[in-house]
Amino acid sequence: MNKKIAWVALIATLVAGAPLLFAADAKELFEKSCASCHGKDGKGETPAGKKLKAKDFTDAKGQAEMKDEQMIKAIKEGVKDGDKTKMKGFGDKLTDEEIKQLIAYIRSFKK
């Protein structure tokens, strides 16, 4: 194959595959950092999730009530109930881009 065409084909493949890669990253990130409470399925039906009353992310009504800014704030700064920390913040561990991807991933749980 012509070298130039090979490059174009390679780049096209990478560009087309990027969204899939991102999606896989968000899934991995969520399962690593968040699923212990929110559950791999987003329902929050883990022992920790039940104890802390994590929301059911598959619930359409709950999703509608969660604004993106509110989610960003929760992920960055954590969630507190009075003095008690329900969820610790991830602001020092995740980039804005990763947080955006996680929110998109959480949105995808909606039924």
The binding site for ligand HEC (CB under 6 A) comprises 33-34, 36-38, 48, 52-55, 66, 70-71, 74-75, 79, 86-87, 90, 102, 106
Which distant-in-sequence residues (6+ apart) come within 8 Å of 14 by Cβ?
none
Nearer to ligand HEC, 17 or 62 (CB): 62
- Say if residues 38 and 110 touch (Cβ distance below 8 Å): no
Nearer to ligand HEC, 23 or 71 (CB): 71
Both tokens of 104, joined, read 């998109």
Identify the helix (H) or strand (E) that includes residue 7. Answer: helix 3-33
Please, what is the minimum distance in Å from the beta carbon of residue 7 to ligand HEC?
A: 37
Please, what is the minimum distance in Å from the beta carbon of residue 5 to ligand HEC?
A: 42
Both tokens of 9, joined, read 């084909």
